[in-house]
Chains A and B, each alone.
Chain A
Amino acid sequence: MLKLGRPRRTISYERLLIHEYFDPYEEPVPEYIVLGLPDAGLVGSIASKYLVMSKNLKLVGEIDSPAYFPPVAVVHEKTPMSPIQVYSSNDRKYLLILSESPIPVQAVYPLSYTILEYSREIGVKHIISLAGIAVPNRLQIEKPKAYWLASTKESANLATKLGLEELKEGFVVGPYGIILKEARRRGINNLTIFVESFLDLPDPESAAVALTILSQILNIEIDVKKLLEEAELFKLQTRELMKQTRKTMAEMQKKYEMQMPLMYQ
């Protein structure tokens, strides 16, 4: 049997389409959207894929675009679908958006705006982004450090209780950066967790750190033991995605993140 049939509703923003297979307004309305997009070390991608598998999240939507995305369908359980999928936890507490292919440069702004508009439309309280932040000596780091950055006071409140360091200066390149700055302008709550990672090698250890922090934010249990045990398998399976993401990161000038901005001290 196919995993998905015809969508219940299709919404269009910025020449992107969100196909829904659930009723987002049904109570309880999801409080959070978790984002796992391909980026440094594939931290968000690995974390979100593991969350889907370990929590058996339900596929409830897809994001597609004939204008911005390459003509690709990914097949899961005999069902062709978009590489950008939306999942829901069984208790509807959170939605998760993951992408199995890199976000093309020309799609970064429209996709970011679409996610923000959609979160406002369905009444989500916070968008939580899981990101990697590349560090040059990652191989020498035993336990990757995490930072946070928020678009509003409400989202900052989520982070302050975690005891992590706030990102005070620097560049953020890619969809997470666009979502952060635009969420601030629109007054939408977005908290981004940045975990130290490799730039262009998959980093399941950093993904495990991101998930541990996410479990505290969402107040849910996430056991990362299996992710760490099967880190080699995750690395093997995400090699091609990492290779493609490396190319888009180069196009986006991701190395900007390692540059020093103009500061006063």
Chain B
Amino acid sequence: MSFDELFEKIRNRIKELIDEFEEEIRELEPMWTADGVLEPLVSIERYPDKYVVVIDLPYADFETLTLSIKDHLLIIECALKKEIAFERWGAYREIKFKRYHASIKLPRDADIENTKIEKDNVRRMLRLIIPRIKRL
């Protein structure tokens, strides 16, 4: 392995560690904001040739769904079918949840250009199949 290849490998690993650290910080944050935005649950399965990302969007109105990708960040926006409030939820009962927003940091070897998207309209779930780029 040449010096450049080794350097690139180390650089990628450091980036991955920073991503993992940021993810741990995010774990401590609530999954909603006071202005009615929900963060969906996201499950990422890693296979040798692809990533499968499943996004759970209960009450989502898929007609309003938008997905965009910027710098390995997958951004999902989707309105709820109706505004939802939890009247018995103590100090937060007046919050009306209106939409989902998620920024999902994808692994660096994700071939985002070739992402395949499947919608499950009954369960209100999205499945993204993202091929992996072969690395050094």
Q: Which residues of A contact B (CB under 8 A)?
A: 75, 136, 139, 198-202, 205, 231-233, 235-237, 239-240, 242-243, 247
Query: In the bound complex, what is the Cα–Cα distance between A169 and B120 (angstroms)?
Result: 32
Whether B43 lies near A236 (C-beta < 8 A) is: no
Separation in Å of the A197 CB from the closest CB of chain B?
A: 12
Number of interchain pairs (Cβ within 8 Å): 46
Whether B54 lies near A139 (C-beta < 8 A) is: yes
Whether B58 lies near A233 (C-beta < 8 A) is: yes
Let me know if B124 is at the binding interface, CB within 8 A.
yes
Whether A235 lies near B56 (C-beta < 8 A) is: yes
Whether B123 lies near A139 (C-beta < 8 A) is: yes
Query: In the bound complex, what is the Cα–Cα distance between A237 and B90 (angstroms)?
Result: 14
Query: In the bound complex, what is the Cα–Cα distance between A139 and B86 (angstroms)?
Result: 28
Query: In the bound complex, what is the Cα–Cα distance between A243 and B27 (angstroms)?
Result: 8
B124 in complex: contacting residue of A136, A199, A232, A242, CB < 8 Å? A232
CB-CB under 8 A from A202, the residues of chain B are 41, 56
CB-CB under 8 A from B123, the residues of chain A are 139, 205, 231
CB-CB under 8 A from A139, the residues of chain B are 54, 120, 123, 125, 127
Whether B124 lies near A247 (C-beta < 8 A) is: no
List 28 interface pairs A-B (beta carbons < 8 Å), by A numbering. A139-B54, A139-B120, A139-B123, A139-B125, A139-B127, A198-B43, A200-B41, A201-B43, A201-B54, A202-B41, A202-B56, A231-B58, A231-B123, A233-B59, A235-B56, A235-B58, A236-B38, A236-B58, A236-B59, A236-B84, A237-B86, A239-B31, A239-B38, A240-B30, A242-B41, A243-B27, A243-B41, A247-B27
Let me know if B35 is at the binding interface, CB within 8 A.
no
Q: Which residues of B contact A (CB under 8 A)?
A: 27, 30-31, 38, 40-41, 43, 45, 54, 56, 58-59, 84, 86, 90, 120, 123-125, 127
Closest 6 CB pairs of A and B: A232-B58, A235-B58, A236-B58, A201-B56, A200-B43, A232-B59
Query: In the bound complex, what is the Cα–Cα distance between A199 and B41 (angstroms)?
Result: 12
Separation in Å of the A66 CB from the closest CB of chain B?
A: 23
Question: Which residue of chain B lies nearest to A140 when distances are taken between CB atoms in the complex?
Answer: B127
Separation in Å of the A233 CB from the closest CB of chain B?
A: 7
- The prevalent SS among residues of A at the interface is helix
CB-CB under 8 A from A201, the residues of chain B are 41, 43, 54, 56, 125
Question: Which residue of chain B lies nearest to A242 when distances are taken between CB atoms in the complex?
Answer: B41
Query: In the bound complex, what is the Cα–Cα distance between A36 and B45 (angstroms)?
Result: 26
Question: Which residue of chain B lies nearest to A244 when distances are taken between CB atoms in the complex?
Answer: B27
Whether B31 lies near A240 (C-beta < 8 A) is: yes
CB-CB under 8 A from A236, the residues of chain B are 38, 58-59, 84
Query: In the bound complex, what is the Cα–Cα distance between A258 and B56 (angstroms)?
Result: 22
Query: In the bound complex, what is the Cα–Cα distance between A39 and B56 (angstroms)?
Result: 17
Whether B45 lies near A136 (C-beta < 8 A) is: yes
Whether B59 lies near A243 (C-beta < 8 A) is: no
Separation in Å of the B128 CB from the closest CB of chain A?
A: 11
Query: In the bound complex, what is the Cα–Cα distance between A236 and B60 (angstroms)?
Result: 11
Whether A75 lies near B90 (C-beta < 8 A) is: yes
Query: In the bound complex, what is the Cα–Cα distance between A200 and B44 (angstroms)?
Result: 9
Query: In the bound complex, what is the Cα–Cα distance between A199 and B56 (angstroms)?
Result: 13
Query: In the bound complex, what is the Cα–Cα distance between A232 and B45 (angstroms)?
Result: 23
Question: Which residue of chain A lies nearest to B125 when distances are taken between CB atoms in the complex?
Answer: A139
| Central interface residue in B27, B43, B45, B59, by most chain A CB within 10 Å | B43
Known: A139-B120, A239-B40, A239-B41. 5 other contacts (CB 8 A): A202-B41, A236-B84, A239-B38, A243-B27, A243-B31
Separation in Å of the B62 CB from the closest CB of chain A?
A: 13
Separation in Å of the A128 CB from the closest CB of chain B?
A: 27
Question: Which residue of chain A lies nearest to B30 when distances are taken between CB atoms in the complex?
Answer: A240
Query: In the bound complex, what is the Cα–Cα distance between A239 and B30 (angstroms)?
Result: 10
Query: In the bound complex, what is the Cα–Cα distance between A232 and B120 (angstroms)?
Result: 13
| Central interface residue in A202, A239, A247, by most chain B CB within 10 Å | A239
